[in-house]
Each structure stands twice: as C-alpha cells, then as structure tokens.
C-alpha cells in the first residue's frame, strides 16, 4: 500500500505547496510595500531638501536685509553728522571748481570739526575704482580724507569727521577702490575758500 505522505496530492505535498504559496505570497506583498516605502522616502527627502533650500534662501534674504539696514543706518548717521558740521559755528562754505559743469557740489570746512562734501550727478567710475577726497594744506602734499562711491543719480556725501590740522581746501580724484597714498589722476574737482 503506497504511503499517502509520499504520493502526489498527499498531505506532505499539500503542506509543501501551501508553504510555497505562502512564500510567494509574502514576496509579492513585500514588493509593492518596498516600492511605496521607497517612494515615500523620496518624497520625504525631496520635502526636506526643499525645506532646507527655502531655509537657506530665507537666511540669505535676511542677511541682505540686515546689510541694507546697516548701510541705511550708517548713511543716516553720516547725514546727521554732515548737517551738524554745516550748521556748526566756524564752518565756512568753499568755492567749488569742477572739471564738468554737470556736477553739482557743495563743500564746507570747519578747521576744528572737519569737512563735508555734498555732490550729485557724479558719473560712475567703473569697477575697482572709487572717488577719493583729499585735504589740501598750503605747502604740503594732499592728505587722504577717505574714499566714497556715489549712489543713485550720482549722489554722495563725503565726510571728514575730525579736526583738519591746517587744511584749507578739498579736492576729489578717481583712485583704486582701496584708495591711494597720493592722487594718481587728475582732480575731478577742487574746493577752496572764496576769494574776497
């Protein structure tokens, strides 16, 4: 008599077939789940990358706004100091001679407090260049009063906020953006006390 456990379709064969189906059943159910999990990971990674990019963009915009605010505050402080110097006792207006008739310039000097030059319609000077203010003292070489760059419409306020030590006039030339020890180009303008 044949052994029922050994015959095809017998209990052993049915158990093996059931195990086989179970094995393939798990394989087929994990495959789509793995794909879904992979896609979910990609979506999460994409969202995280997008959020990181958005955070970096916001930080960059915030840094730009802070720089603009600081520049505006510095400009405001410079304008207040310039106004105070112009209104101070002992400040005199200088006569300005400009190389171009289009320039509109006012210059003021106070030997004890400093000097200020207010200009508009200054032409752009190009990359790597800036305007440099010079203090003119009789019998001496010009001394630097610092560099400046015009803003919108060529407007600029150059301020020397300290005693002038004998300087009686101002001049402006175009120099490298870091400034020069002495003028290297022609003077764009000069400002001296008006002749009586």
Give the per-residue pLDDT at 65.
Answer: 82
Domain end among 31, 65, 87: 87
Model pLDDT for residues 8-35, shown as the tens digit of each residue: 555 555 554 444 444 444 445 666 767 7
Burial-class residue 129 by CB neighbours within 10 Å (0-12, 13-18, 19+).
Answer: middle
Task: Please state, in angstroms and rounded to a whole number, the distance separating the CA atoms of residues 27 and 128.
Answer: 68
Q: Does 98 lie in the same domain as 54?
A: no
Give the per-residue pLDDT at 196.
Answer: 62
CATH (domain of 158): 2.60.40
Render the burial of 159-181: b for 16+ CB within 10 Å, e for the rest.
bbeeebeebbbbbbbbbeeeebe
Q: Does 57 lie in the same domain as 4?
A: yes
Mean pLDDT of successive 10-residue stretches along the chain, which has 196 residues? 52 50 51 73 76 77 80 78 90 90 89 93 90 95 93 88 91 95 91 82
Provide the residue range defining the domain that includes 45.
1-87
By the 8 A CB rule, do 177 and 91 touch?
no
Give the per-residue pLDDT at 159.
Answer: 93
Give the per-residue pLDDT at 43.
Answer: 76
Give the per-residue pLDDT at 138.
Answer: 93
Q: Does 159 lie in the same domain as 83?
A: no
Give the per-residue pLDDT at 176.
Answer: 94
Give the per-residue pLDDT at 53.
Answer: 75
Number of domains in the chain: 2
Give the per-residue pLDDT at 25.
Answer: 47
């Amino acid at each position: 008599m044949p052994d029922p456990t050994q015959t095809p379709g017998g209990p052993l064969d049915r158990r093996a077939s059931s195990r086989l189906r179970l094995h393939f059943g798990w394989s087929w159910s994990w495959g789509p789940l793995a794909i879904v999990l992979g896609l979910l990971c990609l979506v999460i990674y994409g969202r995280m990358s997008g959020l990181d990019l958005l955070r970096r963009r916001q930080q960059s915009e915030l840094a730009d706004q802070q720089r603009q605010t600081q520049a505006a505050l510095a400009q405001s402080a410079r304008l207040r100091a310039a106004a105070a110097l112009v209104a101070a006792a002992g400040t005199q207006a200088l006569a300005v001679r400009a190389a171009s008739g289009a320039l509109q310039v006012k210059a003021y000097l106070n030997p004890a407090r400093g000097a200020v030059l207010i200009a508009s319609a200054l032409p752009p000077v190009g990359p790597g260049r800036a305007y440099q203010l010079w203090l003119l003292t009789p019998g001496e070489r010009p001394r630097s009063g610092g560099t400046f760059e015009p803003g919108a419409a060529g407007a600029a306020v150059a301020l020397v906020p300290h005693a002038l030590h004998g300087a009686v006039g101002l001049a402006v030339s175009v120099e490298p953006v870091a400034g020069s020890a002495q003028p290297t180009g022609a003077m764009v303008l000069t400002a001296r006390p008006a002749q009586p």
